[in-house]
Amino acid sequence: MCGIVGYIGNKKAKPILIDGLKKLEYRGYDSAGIAILNSGEINVVKSKGRIAVLEDKLKDISLEGTIGIGHTRWATHGEPSDINSHPHISKNGKIAVVHNGIIENYIQIKEFLLAKGYQFKSETDTEVIAHLIEYNYEGDLIKAVIKTLNELEGAYALGVLSTDNPDMFVAAKKDSPLIVGLGQNENYIASDIPAILKYTRDILILEEKEVACISSDKVEIYNLLGEKQQREVFHVDWDVSAAEKGGFEHFMIKEIFEEPAAIKATISPRIKDNEIVLDNLIITDEIINNCEKIHIIACGTAYHAGVVGKYIIEKLARIPVEVEVASEFRYRDPIINEKHFTIVISQSGETLDTLMAMREAKKKGSLTFAIVNVVGSSIAREADDVLYTWAGPEIAVASTKAYNTQLAALYLLALTFAKRKGLLDQHSYLNYLSQLQELPNMITSVLNEKKEIQKFASEHFNAKSIFYIGRGLDYALSMEGSLKLKEISYIHSEAYAGGELKHGTIALIEEGTLVVASLTQEQLFEKMIGNVREVKARGAVVLAIAQEKNADEVAKIADAVITIPNVDSVLAPIVAVTTMQLFAYYVAVMKGNEVDKPRNLAKSVTVE
């Protein structure tokens, strides 16, 4: 959430800043603004609403400067408004600041500054930073920023512009992503790679509590002691076109159709000569055999992937697993030690709740293992081990292919643990490997059923409430299906374990209530048939998801059936979830919603 861009060079900054902000729209925002240094003055233009509103404001304003910073804001302090939008200006008008994150001690600092005669125009914590840098400024902007950062508590990614320094600007980072892009006689900053990929493929990744001094011909990085830091250049090798729609109406549907390729990219390089090979991992046989418990920590969609991971690791590797919501984990004094193993899951690798929870686990002695999509992200760098999902850029806010590849990574881990513990015979192991490699083809089969799913969505997109039910892995699957629908359709939806219906939930079922029932688990199939009969008897309309071999039986009691290829029950969720993603997508489209940018949500959640 929130996005930062910055530019210095020999070109006009305005179009570069606007282009970069547009590339960051997927992160979610409610206002936007830019600050450009021109002829000794900082010109700020900002507005509530989409970037198009900002562009309208800029039409009649001449901004010729070649250095500037820009921001898209997702409100945390103060309602969305022109005044609360970034950038924010210091009292004397000489310093402009853009900021992602939350400053936890801003009230104390604000009271201090008020006593010193400073006045505040906005309700934000960011304006505090601008005034405090001015207060600390004694002729050296880097020293003023470092002194200010040492007084701040919380998370930040910053861009700082000063009229006294027309040939440089400053960037800083703590617990919120920020990169530096390197060009020819020009340099950039951004919250994420797509914002500047059009201009450069060479980047520097700022580490925790680092400050960068950026001019057109060089970049210098310092720690908060003012000591210079060395950094290797990271070269981005994925295609710019991967972040474009490629003929699809929305990024979300494009990314759903990319799932077969993404899963293949996650799995294929890691299966060699009928063996799962996870190179350079420190997870030894001793660690696996001595592991008393695994903690899986994540948020949102990644948390639902973790619930699937719990089922499959416990079933195959017989290691107890706890799945934890990251935002709760670190605040309950978790029981964890060096004999425990912690898996953290995050698409962006910058999810702040997950990052902080991982640090808590490390502090208590646990080895940490990250499943992330973004190379060089904070979680990837700080974890003891990392397994990249290689899903490619995911632009739509609602995660699809990243979720599927997270499941694929969890399957690779679960099978590796089971094999090393001697719990899988060779025949079963090879059968799983064979089916893993068939997953892309299976999901392609599901995608070929899109018209059937679209038809059902067109008949039920006006539903007021939708319930998802399943047992075992199907319950875990239902949780993600329900979330996907809520995220983009804004229809109330809940997921329930099929066996829990009779304990209260069935009171909510009435004539015409839509129920999405998953029946992909072989040993629980008859139980789920009974649950479908229960809701049908009370007037529910049922969309069922079943394996092909059971389709005819399910069709006798359900109103519609979406089939997936026959697959081992353990692997069924990774195939079946695509049907739910498609259903959610088509319902949202039928409702006329902005599918890629659902209201109030952001792609990368970098605040607690």
Active site members: 2, 603
How far is the C-alpha of 605 from the C-alpha of 79, rounded, in Å?
18
Measured from the Cβ of residue 521, the count of other Cβ atoms closer than 10 Å reads 23
Please return the burial class of 571, using the count of CB atoms within 10 Å of its CB with bins 0-12, 13-18 and 19+: buried
What is the sign, positive or negative, of the torsion defined by CA atoms of 13, 15, 20, 24? Answer: positive
How far is the C-alpha of 220 from the C-alpha of 213, rounded, in Å?
5
What residues have CB less than 8 Å from 413, skipping those under 6 apart? 278, 309, 313, 343, 369, 387
**Opening angle at CA 461, ends 457 and 464, nearest 5:** 135
**304 residue type, one letter:** H
How far is the C-alpha of 70 from the C-alpha of 66, rounded, in Å?
13
**Is 78 in contact with 103 (CB distance < 8 Å)?**
no
Please choose, from the candidates 340, 262, 252, 339, the residue with its C-alpha nearest in 3D space to the C-alpha of residue 296.
Answer: 340
Give the 3-state secondary structure of residue 320: coil
**Opening angle at CA 502, ends 499 and 504, nearest 5:** 115
**Opening angle at CA 181, ends 179 and 187, nearest 5:** 125
Q: State the Rg of the chain over Cα.
A: 25
Measured from the Cβ of residue 95, the count of other Cβ atoms closer than 10 Å reads 29
Distances (CA, A) of 593 to 269, 491, 584: 38, 11, 11
In the DSSP assignment, the letter for residue 169 is E
How far is the C-alpha of 83 from the C-alpha of 69, rounded, in Å?
17
> Residue 20: left (phi > 0), alpha (psi -120 to 50), or beta?
alpha
Q: Where are the alpha helices (DSSP H) in 448-520?
A: 450-460, 473-489
How far is the C-alpha of 127 from the C-alpha of 332, rounded, in Å?
33
**List of long-range contacts for 127-130, beta carbons under 8 Å, 24+ apart:** 127/88, 127/97, 128/103, 129/88, 129/97, 129/99, 129/103, 129/156, 129/158, 130/88, 130/89, 130/90, 130/95, 130/96, 130/97
**Is 116 in contact with 135 (CB distance < 8 Å)?**
yes
What is the sign, positive or negative, of the torsion defined by CA atoms of 541, 544, 548, 552? Answer: negative
**Is 494 in contact with 467 (CB distance < 8 Å)?**
yes
**Bridge pairing between strands 31-38 and 41-48:** antiparallel
State the Cα torsion 38-43-48-53 to the nearest 10°: -50
Enclosing H/E stretch for 545: strand 541-547
